């Protein structure tokens, strides 16, 4: 058996048990933190704080997941989100009429639509360069990341744009029956993505491309069109994250969320997404996000440094990445 085939076999076996393993890990963490922290860990404030903090990272992780499933990478999701957010912020702060009314609501909707249009353009650029020009996803999205960040800094001069109307702020800070509205948005992103990947021809093509793009092309699939659509969808998810981020912070800036980029890859790999493409489920990703958030919140309650949280996250990534390698050696 070749090394590539063996690796694929191990990833498949690992992926089939990912959800169960993550559930056991989550349960173990819950028990440990419950013992060390006590009732504070189960308080309504703590759980609601977790629910408020997870959505933007979750939506960005979905965007990264789509690129990873195809065997690619999207390094531009944070820069895309910030550029989209600044586009929305400029329109919201400069052109909203002072009075209430249809025009006031219309401008807000137009501002959000403009942010999504910017995200879609970035996705089209990524998809075209990767699918039709044959540029490596790393290089292509690194280029668009730099482009978007440069444009964002140039337009805003590095300043924070803030002061949005209440309906916009509600998106990131409001609740519906006690559930953060942003968490509902995450659910409305995750469920359709899961359905698309598991129950549509497009999703099957994405997995096929991630497993073997050349064989998929020879089988008659227009891999270029699939990749183009995939990167547009990835960027649109970054646009959704932009709305949630600017609403939660009540501001937009060219440098927000830069630490999220590597965490989205961490969450995806921890959730069972094969970094080489072709394997992974949305359910695993969501469980991984919950685990990372539980660790972060617990460390915060224990007054431990957030840098230690990052170190623990990094250690988890190393262990998760190493397991298939050692398991593969045992099967030889």
Task: Encode pLDDT of 271-291 as tens digits.
Answer: 888 888 888 899 999 999 998
The rounded distance, in Å, linking the Cα atoms of 77 and 90 is 20
Nearest CA-CA partner of 281 in 30, 68, 24, 53 = 68
Q: Residue 121: CB partners within 8 Å, gap ≥ 6?
A: none
pLDDT of residue 96: 63
- What tokens appear for 125 in the block? 């650029």
3-class SS of residue 161: strand
pLDDT per residue as tens digits for the range 7-38: 444 444 344 456 777 888 888 888 888 888 87
Measured CA to CA, the distance from residue 88 to residue 110 in angstroms comes to: 9
Average of per-residue pLDDT across 238-253: 93
CA distance 23 to 29: 10
Strand positions, DSSP E, 99-235: 161-162, 175-176, 179-180
User: What is the rounded CA–CA span in Å between residue 318 and residue 195?
Assistant: 30
Tell me the backbone φ, ψ of residue 97, rounded to 5 degrees: -60, 155
Per-chain mean pLDDT for the chain: 85
Taking only the tens place, the pLDDT of each residue in 166-213 is 888 999 999 898 889 999 999 999 999 999 999 999 999 999 999 988
Chain centroid to CA 226: 20
**What integer pLDDT is reported at residue 15 of this predicted model?**
47
In the chain, the domains with their CATH numbers are 3-331 (1.10.3470)
* Band (3; pLDDT cuts 50, 70, 90): very low
Cβ atoms 6, 328 nearer than 8 A = yes
Contacts of 329 (CB under 8 A, 6+ apart): none
Give the residue carrying structure tokens 């002061």: 163
Q: For residue 323, what pLDDT is reported?
A: 65
What is the pLDDT at residue 153?
Answer: 93
- What is the pTM for the complete model shown? 0.88
pLDDT of residue 101: 64
CA separation for the pair 99, 116 (Å, rounded): 26
- Return the higher-pLDDT residue of 280 and 314: 280
If one compares 217 and 14, the residue with the highest pLDDT of the two is 217
């Amino acid at each position: 058996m070749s090394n590539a085939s063996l690796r694929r076999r191990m990833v498949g076996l690992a992926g089939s048990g990912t959800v169960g393993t993550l559930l056991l890990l989550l349960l173990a963490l819950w028990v440990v933190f419950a013992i060390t922290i006590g009732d504070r860990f189960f308080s309504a404030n703590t759980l609601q704080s977790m629910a408020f903090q997870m959505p933007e990272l979750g939506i960005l992780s979905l965007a990264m997941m789509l690129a990873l499933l195809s065997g690619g990478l999207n390094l531009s999701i944070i820069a895309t989100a910030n550029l989209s957010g600044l586009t929305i912020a400029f329109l919201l702060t400069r052109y909203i009429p002072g009075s209430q009314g249809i025009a006031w609501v219309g401008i807000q909707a137009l501002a959000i639509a403009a942010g999504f249009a910017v995200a879609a353009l970035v996705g089209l650029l990524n998809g075209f360069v990767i699918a039709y020009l044959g540029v490596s996803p790393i290089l292509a999205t690194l280029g668009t990341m730099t482009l978007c960040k440069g444009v964002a800094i140039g337009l805003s001069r590095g300043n924070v744009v803030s002061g949005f109307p209440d309906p916009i702020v509600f998106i990131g800070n409001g609740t519906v029956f006690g559930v953060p509205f942003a968490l509902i948005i995450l659910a409305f992103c995750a469920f359709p993505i899961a359905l698309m990947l598991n129950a549509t021809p497009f999703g099957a093509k994405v997995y096929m491309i991630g497993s073997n793009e050349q064989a998929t092309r020879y089988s008659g699939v227009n891999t270029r069109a699939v990749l183009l659509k995939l990167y547009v969808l990835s960027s649109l998810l970054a646009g959704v994250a932009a709305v949630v981020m600017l609403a939660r912070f009540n501001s937009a800036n060219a440098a927000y969320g830069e630490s999220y980029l590597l965490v989205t890859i961490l969450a995806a790999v921890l959730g069972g997404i094969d970094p080489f493409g072709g394997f992974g489920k949305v359910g695993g990703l969501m469980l991984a996000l919950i685990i990372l958030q539980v660790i972060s919140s617990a460390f915060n309650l224990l007054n431990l440094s957030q840098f230690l949280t990052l170190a623990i996250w990094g250690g988890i990534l190393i262990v998760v990445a190493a397991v298939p390698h050692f398991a593969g050696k045992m099967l030889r």
